[in-house]
Amino acid sequence: MALLTDLLNLDLTDSTEKIIAEYIWIGGSGMDLRSKARTLPGPVTDPSKLPKWNYDGSSTGQAPGEDSEVILYPQAIFKDPFRKGNNILVMCDCYTPAGEPIPTNKRFNAAKIFSNPDVAAEEPWYGIEQEYTLLQKDINWPLGWPVGGFPGPQGPYYCSIGADKSFGRDIVDAHYKACLFAGVNISGINGEVMPGQWEFQVGPTVGISAGDQVWVARYLLERITEIAGVVVTFDPKPIPGDWNGAGAHTNYSTESMRKDGGFEVIVAAVEKLKLKHKEHIAAYGEGNERRLTGKHETADINTFSWGVANRGASVRVGRETEQNGKGYFEDRRPASNMDPYVVTSMIAETTIMWKP
């Protein structure tokens, strides 16, 4: 009798040309990832060669029961680290049968912004720092924390090692390797300030690819924590009180910012962001007001500020960028549960397309 793990690890490439494609999409809450699999006759590397597919939108909060069909449009392909071989993960967005993007499809508008000639000419680069918290299953309490109690105060946990300070490293490393296998441009990981909290970074990525890659990295993390029997939360302030929240700091540069004289371009872009502070805050994640208090390395949600090497500002410019006179800046306002399609495209629209 074969073991279940033997069957899960079966290599199909020697027995069939057929592959399994796992279609991934974002559900009605804007944060719930959904997926389902189908068999394809052979390997595929171009998303335009993949068939569209439908699902029951009434079961995801995206369509009424009497007209429930939603159509998945394949947009990006990644290698599947779970099934391996030629099997793939497919990031999709969602449309009505008539071809209109449904209201929760944030990718559609982002793609329009990134295809704007002015934006495309600037080749916007993104590096997104995705923070998250690992929770013990069924009790909604961070991994490594005593049940019903608290660990020692923050200080020893950031980038820590040791069984009394670092919780969940096996999950984090499994996720790191799964992202690299899949083709996500994950650039690093670290333990965060609150125990049980971690961060991974995706980037540099260009344009719409930033959103695709962050969503697939989130999908991989959800799948890995499922296997480990742990829950991941992207809540921006999972534990109230004197504990750090969770953000998704978004590093950004354009070609003009990366050239000599780019520092002046950065300053002009940051001044534009200041003028649209309220609009950006409204789109930067639900519950962000619980995180952006002016404490725990955040700026107050109602006040825009920026500075060089200032982690308590809304926007931070690196010391190296100031010294070189060119480079990038970091928007520290987005919450951990932000939609990367919304945030990346909005930053590009405000700093490149918008003329105050």
Q: Report the pLDDT value the prediction gives residue 1, as an integer from 0 to 100.
A: 66
Measured CA to CA, the distance from residue 165 to residue 234 in angstroms comes to: 21
The answer to whether position 110 is within a domain reads: no
Q: Indicate if 156 and 282 belong to the same structural domain.
A: yes
Residue from 144, 199, 149 nearest 167 by CA:
144
Domain final residue pick, 43, 78, 104: 104
Q: Report the pLDDT value the prediction gives residue 67, as an integer from 0 to 100.
A: 86
The answer to whether position 214 is within a domain reads: yes
Q: Indicate if 53 and 168 belong to the same structural domain.
A: no
- Contact 125/259 with Cβ under 8 angstroms? no
Q: Report the pLDDT value the prediction gives residue 65, as an integer from 0 to 100.
A: 84
Domain final residue pick, 104, 128, 148: 104
Q: Indicate if 156 and 100 belong to the same structural domain.
A: no
Residue 109 DSSP one-character state: H
The answer to whether position 243 is within a domain reads: yes
Measured CA to CA, the distance from residue 73 to residue 228 in angstroms comes to: 31
> Which two three-digit tokens encode residue 58?
């009434």
Nearby residues of 106 by Cβ (< 8 Å), 6 or more positions away: 26, 30, 339, 341, 342
Q: Indicate if 235 and 330 belong to the same structural domain.
A: yes
Q: Indicate if 51 and 187 belong to the same structural domain.
A: no
Q: Indicate if 80 and 126 belong to the same structural domain.
A: no
Q: Indicate if 99 and 146 belong to the same structural domain.
A: no
pTM: 0.97
Angle between helices 169-182 and 208-228 (to 10 degrees): 140
Q: Indicate if 95 and 133 belong to the same structural domain.
A: no
The answer to whether position 109 is within a domain reads: no
Q: Report the pLDDT value the prediction gives residue 66, as an integer from 0 to 100.
A: 85
The answer to whether position 202 is within a domain reads: yes
Measured CA to CA, the distance from residue 203 to residue 101 in angstroms comes to: 27
Q: Indicate if 50 and 148 belong to the same structural domain.
A: no
Tens-digit pLDDT profile for residues 252-280? 999 999 999 999 999 999 999 999 999 99
The answer to whether position 265 is within a domain reads: yes
Q: Indicate if 83 and 57 belong to the same structural domain.
A: yes
Q: In the chain, which residues have pLDDT < 70?
A: 1
Domain that holds residue 60: 4-104
Q: What φ, ψ does residue 332 adopt, rounded to 5°?
A: -90, 5
The answer to whether position 209 is within a domain reads: yes
The answer to whether position 153 is within a domain reads: yes
Dihedral angle of Cα 36, 39, 40, 43, to the nearest 10 degrees: 80
CATH classification at residue 80: 3.10.20.70
Tens-digit pLDDT profile for residues 3-22? 898 998 888 988 999 999 99
> Which two three-digit tokens encode residue 179?
């992202």
Could you count the other beta carbons within 10 Å of the beta carbon of residue 332?
Answer: 24
Q: Report the pLDDT value the prediction gives residue 203, as an integer from 0 to 100.
A: 95
CATH classification at residue 344: 3.30.590.10
How many domains would you assign to the chain?
2
Q: Report the pLDDT value the prediction gives residue 311, as an integer from 0 to 100.
A: 81
Q: Indicate if 310 and 196 belong to the same structural domain.
A: yes
Q: Report the pLDDT value the prediction gives residue 310, as an integer from 0 to 100.
A: 84
Q: Indicate if 147 and 61 belong to the same structural domain.
A: no
In degrees, rounded to 5, the angle at the alpha carbon of residue 118 between the alpha carbons of residues 117 and 122 is 110
Domain final residue pick, 82, 104, 126: 104
Measured CA to CA, the distance from residue 63 to residue 22 in angstroms comes to: 22
